[in-house]
Each structure stands twice: as C-alpha cells, then as structure tokens.
C-alpha cells in the first residue's frame, strides 16, 4: 500500500535527495497521520466517557497530542524546505529537528497529565462500564497505529528523516499503550481492582519514555552530534584512495538538517609534487564527495616533506613520545625550523573529544621528553580536539 499511495501522490517520488520531494513525503505522512489520529481521538474520547475509563481517555488524549505532533512535523517540513536566504545561508533544514523538539514537549505534557489522572483513579476508583463498541474501537486503533508506524518508518528510512522515524516509533509505543488499555477494559469484567488507574499509569510511563527518547534524538543534532563512524570511515577510505592524498586530519562535519551537510578537512600532500596537479585532484575529490555523499566539502592542502630522512625519523620519535602518554593521541603538521642556537619542532597534537587533560601539562610532558633527545629542541605545539 505504501508504494501505491506514494506513486499516486508524489511526483518524482524516487528523487529522495531533492528537497521538494522530501517535503512532499513529509507532507503526505503528516496529513495521513492527522486524519488517522483525528478519527481515533473522536471515538476514544466518546467511548472513554461512555465507559468511565480514564485509560481509554488517556489514550485518546495521547492521540490528540499526536495530532499536534503531526502538525509540528507538517510545518517543520514546510519550513525546512525553504530556500537559503541572506540571514540563513545554510538553509532551514534544522526546522525539522525543531519540529521533533515540539513533538517531544507535547508528548511529555500529555504523559504528566495522564499520569496525574491515573493516580487519582487509583486513589478514588470508579467502576468501568464494559462495552463491545469500546473494544472494537481499541482493536481498530491498534491496527491503524501499526499501519501508521509502518508507513512513517518506510518514508523515514527512504528520505532519512529523524522526525518521521520518531513518529513511527511513537506509533509503535501507542500500540503498546492501547493494548494495555484494552486489557484493563476486558479485565474489569473479572475484578473490582482499580486496574484502570494502574494500567493508566503504565500507559503514561510509556508515553513519558517516548517523549524523553524523541527529545534526546532531536536535541542531539541541534547541539552538534558526532557524525556516524561508518560514514566517516567510508569517507576516509574514499579520499585516501587518491594517490595525491597522503593523510587526513582536522576533519569537521557540520549538520544543518537532513541533506544539508558541510565538511572540511586538511589533506596532506607531497610538497615536491606539482601544485596544479594536486589542486586538480583535490577538485575531483570535492566533486566526488558531493555526488557520492551529498556533502559540500572544502579541502585544505597541507604540503609535507616525505623525503627528508632526518625529519621523518624525528617525527617518528615524537609520535612515540605522544603515544606513550596516551595511545589515543596523534600528531600532524610536523615540521622543523632550524636556527643557529636551537631547532623548533612545530606540530599539532590531536586529542579525543572527551579528553580533559590540561593542555599546559601535556605540552610540558611532551617538551620534557623531546629535550631529552636534544636540549636544543624547542616544541611549538598546537592542541586540537577531535570532532568525531
């Protein structure tokens, strides 16, 4: 059914990298979800009042919050699809993440509200009125939510949309909570225990967890989440497959929304090679990265001398010193500046992103070890932290 609906409603549906096509997918999923949730809200609130079931009503209000979430997703896609302007030259793609953030707040609000109501039902229980109509509504709701989860999941994977993936997971959570509500209604025929309030609390906790998970998933890219390791490894492998590139460092990947990524890194090249030939290959790499990964890339060339045996030997000794301090440390941009009284060893030391060692302390350790090789060696060290 997914393929048939997509083919009939989205022109050029296969061009998922196209921002306009992505927007159509988001709009389609949002509209379908709004219609489904609207139907479920009406019937659940009606039968919740009819049967005096707070669990059914909590489930209905959860669907109402889902409608707000769907509206946030709808407008998020619309705003994210706007063209870059003078105030936002990197585009508006992060609106999709902001929409996810709004969704998480709505879910959390409903969770706390239904948690309070469920606790009151345990404290002051009311008898449930069993209704086959309510049972049918809840079963239909489960089937409808399973369909919505499947539809949003397929679309979310196809266009790599965090908000649609979150909507899919939210629908799966709703399946669990609606089943719990159905269970409490059926068990009311056999017991007078306040199962409605107890299961209502379970429903609320599921909703609460869903809101927290979605909040985390949408805040991470806004704060600057580390890029996927598999993607970075693949990019490294691709770039290093070119013969002019000897190494890569200072790698940075910026995320401005799905399909709007910008990358910079330094490529080490042989200083004795023809600069025009190297530049030509760098241009080819940049174009290749755009075509292969849809990432706009800027590459800085770092010329290095690989033929000077003395420099290479000294560089290796400095690498050993740094590795002896911490195996995760590395160096790059190593060069020598010789003078009549001393020699400057200039290099950068790369630390893991979460390393908290004092930079001054680290420089002193390295300098002390280097001067044991030769007291006339002075270290000029730049400390960098990885963005991976």
Q: Is the same domain home to 292 and 169? A: no
Which of 150 and 205 is assigned the larger pLDDT? 150
Check pLDDT > 80 for residue 206: no
Q: Is the same domain home to 154 and 239? A: no
What average pLDDT does the structure give for the chain? 84
Indicate the SS3 state at residue 192. coil
Q: Is the same domain home to 148 and 271? A: no
Check pLDDT > 70 for residue 248: yes
Question: Residue 284 is part of a domain; what is its CATH number?
Answer: 3.30.70.1350
Q: Is the same domain home to 334 and 233? A: yes
Which of 22 and 365 is assigned the larger pLDDT? 365
Which of 324 and 192 is assigned the larger pLDDT? 324
Check pLDDT > 90 for residue 63: no
Return the CA Rg of the chain.
29
- Tell me if 342 sits within 8 A of 330, measured CB to CB: no
Considering only CA atoms, which of 232, 261, 220 is closest in space to residue 17? 261
Q: Is the same domain home to 124 and 269? A: no
Q: Is the same domain home to 172 and 303? A: no
Which helix (H) or strand (E) segment is 36 a member of? helix 19-51
Chain-centroid distance, C-alpha 349:
29
pLDDT tens by residue, 291-311: 998 899 999 998 888 888 888
Q: 253-276 in b/e burial notation, b at 16+ Cβ within 10 A?
A: bebbbbbbbebebbbbbbbeeeee
Is residue 78 packed enough to be buried (19+ CB in 10 Å), middle (13-18) or exposed (0-12)?
middle
Pairing status of strand 261-270 against strand 247-255: antiparallel
pLDDT at residue number 130: 65
Q: Is the same domain home to 201 and 281? A: no
Indicate the SS3 state at residue 11. coil
Q: Is the same domain home to 217 and 305? A: no
Q: Is the same domain home to 201 and 239? A: no
pLDDT at residue number 377: 93
- Residue 250: phi and psi, rounded to 5, are 50, 45
Long-range contacts at 234-241 (CB < 8 A, ≥ 24 apart): 235/263, 235/289, 235/293, 235/295, 238/288, 238/289, 238/292, 239/265, 239/267, 239/285, 239/289
Check pLDDT > 80 for residue 117: no
Domain that holds residue 61: 2-223
pLDDT above 90 covers what percent of the chain?
26
Check pLDDT > 90 for residue 264: yes
> Could you identify the residue written with the tokens 């190494």?
247
Q: Is the same domain home to 214 and 263? A: no
Q: Is the same domain home to 219 and 239? A: no
CA 163/CA 109 separation, integer angstroms: 18
What confidence category does residue 358 fall into, taking pLDDT thresholds of 50, 70 and 90? very high
Check pLDDT > 70 for residue 129: no
Check pLDDT > 90 for residue 210: no
Long-range contacts at 380-383 (CB < 8 A, ≥ 24 apart): 380/344, 380/345, 380/346, 380/347, 381/347, 381/348, 381/349, 382/333, 382/347, 382/348, 382/349, 383/348, 383/349, 383/351, 383/359
Q: Is the same domain home to 106 and 204? A: yes
Considering only CA atoms, which of 286, 284, 303 is closest in space to residue 295? 286
Of 223, 249, 266, which one is at a domain's C-terminal end? Answer: 223
pLDDT at residue number 44: 79
Is residue 123 packed enough to be buried (19+ CB in 10 Å), middle (13-18) or exposed (0-12)?
exposed
Question: Residue 164 is part of a domain; what is its CATH number?
Answer: 1.20.1510.10
Of 198, 223, 248, which one is at a domain's C-terminal end? Answer: 223
Of 223, 239, 262, which one is at a domain's C-terminal end? Answer: 223
Other CB atoms within 10 Å distance of the CB of residue 39? 15
| Domain count of the fold of the chain | 2
């Amino acid at each position: 059914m997914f393929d048939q609906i997509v083919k009939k409603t989205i022109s050029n549906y296969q061009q998922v990298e196209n921002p306009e096509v992505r927007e159509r997918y988001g709009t389609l999923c949002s509209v379908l979800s709004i219609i489904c949730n609207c139907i479920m809200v009406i019937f659940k609130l009606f039968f919740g009042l009819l049967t005096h079931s707070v669990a059914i009503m909590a489930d209905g209000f959860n669907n109402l919050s889902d409608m707000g979430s769907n509206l946030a997703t709808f407008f998020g896609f619309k705003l994210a699809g706007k063209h870059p302007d003078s105030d936002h030259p990197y585009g508006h793609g992060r609106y999709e993440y902001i929409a996810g953030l709004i969704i998480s707040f709505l879910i959390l609000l409903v969770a706390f509200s239904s948690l309070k109501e469920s606790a009151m039902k345990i404290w002051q229980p009311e008898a449930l009125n069993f209704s086959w109509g309510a049972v049918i509504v809840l079963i239909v709701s489960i089937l409808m939510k399973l369909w919505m989860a499947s539809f949003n999941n397929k679309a979310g994977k196809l266009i790599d949309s965090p908000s649609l993936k979150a909507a899919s997971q939210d629908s799966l959570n709703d399946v669990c909570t609606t089943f719990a509500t159905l269970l409490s209604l059926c068990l009311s025929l056999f017991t007078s225990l306040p199962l409605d309030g107890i299961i209502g609390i379970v429903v609320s906790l599921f909703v609460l967890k869903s809101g927290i998970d979605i909040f985390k998933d949408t805040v991470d890219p806004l704060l600057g989440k580390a890029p996927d390791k598999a993607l970075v490894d693949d990019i490294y492998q691709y770039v290093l497959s070119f013969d002019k590139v000897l190494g890569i460092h200072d790698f940075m990947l910026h995320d401005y929304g799905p399909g709007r990524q910008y990358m910079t890194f330094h490529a080490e090249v042989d200083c004795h090679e023809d600069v025009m030939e190297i530049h030509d290959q760098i241009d080819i790499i940049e174009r290749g990265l755009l075509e292969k990964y849809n990432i706009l890339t800027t590459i800085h060339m770092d010329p290095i001398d690989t033929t000077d045996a003395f420099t290479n030997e000294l560089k290796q000794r400095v690498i050993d010193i740094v590795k002896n301090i911490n195996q995760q440390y590395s160096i790059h941009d190593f060069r020598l500046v010789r003078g009549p009284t001393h020699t400057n060893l200039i290099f950068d030391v790369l630390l893991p992103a979460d390393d908290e060692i004092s930079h001054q302390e680290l420089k002193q350790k390295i300098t002390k070890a280097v001067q044991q090789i030769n007291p006339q060696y002075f270290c000029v060290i730049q400390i960098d932290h990885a963005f991976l």
